[in-house]
Amino acid sequence: MILENLSAYSFELGPIRPPSEARSLLIRATRNCPWNRCQFCPVYKTQKFELRPVEEIEKDIQTARVISEEIRTLAWKMGYGGRLKDIAAMLCNSPHYNASVKNVALWLYFDAESAFLQDANSLIMRTPDLVRVIRSLRAAFPSLTRITSYGRSKTTAKKSLEELKELYEAGLSRLHVGLETGYDDLLRYMQKGVTAEEHIEGGKRVKESGISLCEYVMPGLGGKNMSKEHVEQTARVLNEIDPDYIRLRTLEVGEGMPLLQKLQEGDFKLQTEDEVVEEIGALVERLDCRSELKSDHILNLLPEVEGKLPQDKEKMLATINRYLALPLSERVNFQLGRRAGYYERLDELQDTYKHEKVEQIIRRIESENSGRVEEAIYALKTRFI
């Protein structure tokens, strides 16, 4: 059944959000990325950065509010009563509704508690404008307990503590910041546009303001040539900042990334899956902070390597060592099975049915492609970029 009134409403959405914001209402505060030169990023590369007028953003907020009210009204008219999850699930799974309706429906399904401001660096907005947007969100949706956004360290380092506190008091709960690495040579190589000291300065300032800070780290970013320094300096920077969250996002190189050309020319050399796991272990060993380490992305081989520091450090290292102690054939089986969707966690290697299914795929690859299992794993990983 198509509900025509609901189908008439829409608001602007950006292309991405953090995996941890999958349950959030998405409001596009800016378009694209103001820096847009990072060698490892395929997003926004052909797009121009734009600041959206505050009035335009507020109009989208009101449209989202109307959609949410329509869905609540429909829940009663269609006999669902106050059971929003039932109608929200129906709307999300229907091909008849636009992305805006589905986003609001998904948000209602997950109790309407969080909102995420898109795109890549909403913090670059003038502080009074961003405060106004946040307050408009709070006024339109009193159920919100969290409002989050992406932000660059360069921008957080330029904002005054007073400005960040003003944003916090308005209702900005958390900033997601792409640290990637704390090694200055690698930051320059990847054209990140920020220094390690700016990472530290900006991160500390966010923490001092009261805003929760989530720093993203990219295992494998140093390749074979800069892995050691990448680990050492990234740990140093994270220990200085002591963010609330550290999230792992393992590097994979694919179409649309400037880094792909460097890889093809031999200037950059990817690490193997095992080398990246070893690198994560070396990073965890060096972390001396009180952060929550998260591994919530399919590109991470071992999602169970997560926990609260420092108390869960040994548990995380034990998982890494358990994987590295496996015979090569078992590590390859897990790598392919993880990328092909058979395995979620290392324990699933013990599932005889799944294990044999993956072995069948390996045997087929070896017979048809001269044993290039590693290439098959790489191809599977690029689907998730």
Instruction: Give every strand in the sheet of 307-308, ordered side by side.
Output: 25-28, 114-118, 146-151, 174-180, 212-217, 245-248, 292-294, 307-308
| Residue 369: band (very low, low, confident or very high) from pLDDT cuts 50, 70, 90 | low
Look up the CATH architecture of domain 175-325.
Answer: 2-Layer Sandwich (3.30)
Angle at 285 between CA 282 and CA 291, to 5 degrees: 115
What DSSP line would sit under 242-291, residue for residue? --SEEEE------TT-THHHHHHTTSS-PPPHHHHHHHHHHHHHH--S-P
Whole-angstrom Cα distance, residue 118 to residue 177?
13
- Spacing of C-alpha 122 from chain mean position: 15
Q: Cβ contacts of residue 71 below 8 Å, gap of 6+?
A: 6, 84, 87, 88, 91, 101, 104, 105, 108
User: Cis peptide leading into 347, omega within 30 of 0?
Assistant: no
Q: Provide the mean pLDDT of the chain.
A: 95
**Which among 37, 30, 15 has a CA at the least distance from the CA of 385?**
15
Domain ranges, ordered by start, for the chain: 1-151, 175-325, 327-385
**Residue 307 φ then ψ, to 5°:** 160, -175
Over 50: is that where the pLDDT of 1 sits? no
| Residue 2: band (very low, low, confident or very high) from pLDDT cuts 50, 70, 90 | very low
Whole-angstrom Cα distance, residue 334 to residue 326?
10
| Residue 367: band (very low, low, confident or very high) from pLDDT cuts 50, 70, 90 | confident
Whole-angstrom Cα distance, residue 72 to residue 290?
41
Regarding pTM above 0.85, the answer is yes
Q: From the CB of residue 53, how many other CB atoms can be counted at a distance below 10 Å?
A: 10
Q: Cβ contacts of residue 251 below 8 Å, gap of 6+?
A: 40, 218, 219, 220, 221, 270, 276, 299
Q: Cβ contacts of residue 216 below 8 Å, gap of 6+?
A: 176, 177, 178, 179, 180, 247, 248, 249
Cα–Cα distances in angstroms (integers) from residue 19 to residues 14, 217, 258, 384, in the given order: 14, 14, 23, 12
CA dihedral 31, 34, 40, 44 (to 10 degrees): 30
Q: Which H or E element spans position 75?
A: helix 54-77
**Which among 111, 102, 109, 197 has a CA at the least distance from the CA of 157?**
197
Query: For 75-103, what is the mean pLDDT?
Result: 87
Q: Which H or E element spans position 355?
A: helix 352-368
Query: For 13-37, what is the mean pLDDT?
Result: 96
Strands 245-248 vs 212-217: parallel, antiparallel or unpaired: parallel
Whole-angstrom Cα distance, residue 18 to residue 340?
22
Read off the pLDDT of residues 343-361 as tens digits, 9 standing for 90 and up.
999 999 999 999 999 999 9
| Tokens at 11, concatenated | 């608001």
Please report the pLDDT score of residue 83 as a whole number.
81
Read off the pLDDT of residues 159-200 as tens digits, 9 standing for 90 and up.
999 999 999 999 999 999 999 999 999 999 999 999 999 999
Please report the pLDDT score of residue 33 as a whole number.
97
Read off the pLDDT of residues 213-222 as tens digits, 9 standing for 90 and up.
999 999 999 9
Query: For 56-62, what is the mean pLDDT?
Result: 98
**Residue 289 φ then ψ, to 5°:** -140, 180
**DSSP character at residue 52:** P
Please report the pLDDT score of residue 3 as a whole number.
55
